[in-house]
Amino acid sequence: MSQPPLLITASPHLSAGDTTPRIMWHVVGSLLPILAAATYFFGPSALLVVGAAVAGAVVTEWAFGLRGTLGDGSAVITGLLLGLTLPAGLPVWMAFVGGAFGIAIGKLIFGGLGQNVFNPALLGRAFLQASFPVAMTTWPVPGPGEWRALRGDNFALPFASPLPLDTVTGATPLGQMKFEHQATSVVDLVLGTTSGSLGETSGLLILLCGAYLALRNYLNWRVPAAIFATVAALSGGLHWLDPSRYPGAPFMLFSGGLMLGAVYMATDLVTSPVTNPGSWIFGAGVGLLVVVIRLWGGLAEGVMYSILIMNALVPYLNRLTEPRPFGAEPGRIRR
């Protein structure tokens, strides 16, 4: 028999079928309904801001990343997630710079996909927050006005002051709570008809998209579960002690960036623990920090910094929660 060209590869010769690009593009796909909701609430501005952030991330990955890494989809995720944390009225050049910063400084400088310590999207947002504090805290109100109207001077030139547009802006529910002691109805929060960043509006939708990813094992459900449980327990307890000073658990869970952060940012595979016990601790830490920053810190919102701080602890958490070696405890051997 003549011999065909034989392939020689190492075992295992089967694979579970999932690939990293597939996981990444599924995450991208699951973010599209959230982007659609943002567009519904904030009009074309949402698409402009998110598109600019994605463009910044993708162009930077293409320019400075290793060849072929665009196809793994991770840069698109970074851009999408960053865009969804921005206010609708933000000038697009700022969103672009944020995406570029997130990829360049948040990811590539560490060695590219898989090597970064901090969530690149959140690092991009932190950069924007520090650089453009006013633009980053001007929150258009969703809904009113002509649908096609922009919600701010999206086309402001770099380093020029944005033109004042005829757009209704308002404080976010967390800002109202913190600085004006006004509560927002939880129904509005769940549906997303409040002001805030593009993706921090409809908590219900984010939960559904996250559930889809969790069912496919594309995110570790333990992280959001731990965050929700910690935030609910802490804020619920404080609310019970002094309802006039501390908002209740549903408000804390559905306001601000908590949903998007817990479901999509904290669960970033690269920057969260690899062990399951580590994931529980990581989530609990994020939840604790969110409550502390929101209730006692100088900022109205604390999700971004909470996750970034816990990102830094991930290597330590991984080591702390190394699995018990099989057969390591002789006491477990029963005869």
Partner 1 sequence: MLHRFKFKHGVHPPELKELTAAVPIRRLPFPEEIVLPLRQHAGAPARAVVRAGDRVERGDKIGEADGLMSTPVHASAAGTVQDIGLWPHPDGSYAPAVRIAVDRYSPQAPRPRLVPEWTRLEPKALVAAIREAGVVGLGGAAFPTHVKLSPPKDVTIDTVLINGCECEPYLTTDHRTMVEYPERVHLGVRIMMRCLGVHRAVIGIERNKPDAIEAIRATLPADLDVTMQALEVKYPQGAEKMLIKAVLDREVPPGKLPMHVGVIVQNVASAATIAEVFETGLPLIERIVTVTGRGVRRPGNLIVPVGTRVGDLIDACGGLTPDAREIIFGGPMMGTAQASLDIPLLKSTTGVVVLSAAETRPQESYPCIRCGRCLDACPVFLNPQLLGQLALKDRYADMAAARLADCMLCGCCGYACPSNIPLPQLFQLAKVAVRKHPVPA
Q: Which is nearer to partner 1, 148 or 335 (CB)?
A: 335
Closest CA to 106 of 68, 137, 77, 72: 77
Task: State how far the Cα of 215 lies from the Cα of 16, in Å rounded to an integer.
Answer: 16
Burial class (CB in 10 A: 0-12, 13-18, 19+), 282: buried
Helix (H, G, I), strand (E, B) or coil at 121: helix
Q: Which residue has the tokens 């006013």?
A: 134
Among 109, 114, 162, 253, binds partner 1 (CB under 8 A): 114
Among 161, 276, 312, 320, binds partner 1 (CB under 8 A): 276
Q: How many CB atoms lie within 10 A of CB 327?
A: 8
Half-sphere exposure of 47 (CA within 13 A, CB side): 10
Burial class (CB in 10 A: 0-12, 13-18, 19+), 217: exposed
Instruction: Quote the least distance from Cβ 39 to partner 1, whole Å.
Output: 29
Contact 139/147 with Cβ under 8 angstroms?
no
Stretch that binds partner 1, among 76-84, 117-125, 288-296, 315-323 (CB under 8 A): 315-323
13 counts as binding partner 1 under rule CB under 8 A: yes
| DSSP structural state of residue 252 | H
Q: Which is nearer to partner 1, 163 or 328 (CB)?
A: 328
Task: State how far the Cα of 303 lies from the Cα of 267, in Å rounded to an integer.
Answer: 13
Scanning residues 182 to 241, which ones bind partner 1 (CB under 8 A)? 217, 220
Which region holds residue 261: left if phi is over 0, alpha if psi is between -120 and 50, else beta? alpha
Instruction: Quote the least distance from Cβ 308 to partner 1, whole Å.
Output: 17
The three-state (H, E, C) secondary structure of 163-189, written as one string: CCCCCCECCCHHHHHHHHCCCCCHHHH
324 counts as binding partner 1 under rule CB under 8 A: yes
Q: Which residue has the tokens 């309904």?
A: 33
Instruction: Quote the least distance from Cβ 208 to partner 1, whole Å.
Output: 22
Closest CA to 214 of 26, 79, 33: 26
Among 130, 134, 241, 333, binds partner 1 (CB under 8 A): 333
Q: Which residue has the tokens 């010769």?
A: 13
Instruction: Quote the least distance from Cβ 7 to partner 1, whole Å.
Output: 4
115 counts as binding partner 1 under rule CB under 8 A: yes
332 counts as binding partner 1 under rule CB under 8 A: yes
Stretch that binds partner 1, among 2-10, 136-144, 189-197, 295-303 (CB under 8 A): 2-10
Instruction: Quote the least distance from Cβ 4 to partner 1, whole Å.
Output: 6
19 counts as binding partner 1 under rule CB under 8 A: yes
Contacts with 33 (C-beta within 8 Å, 6 or more apart), sequence order:
205, 208, 209
Stretch that binds partner 1, among 41-49, 91-99, 250-258, 273-281 (CB under 8 A): 273-281
x/- map, 253-272, partner 1, by CB under 8 A: ----------------xx-x
Q: Which is nearer to partner 1, 185 or 276 (CB)?
A: 276
67 counts as binding partner 1 under rule CB under 8 A: no
70 counts as binding partner 1 under rule CB under 8 A: no
Interface residues with partner 1 (CB under 8 A) are 1, 3-16, 18-23, 72, 74, 112-115, 217, 220, 269-270, 272-276, 279, 318, 322-330, 332-335
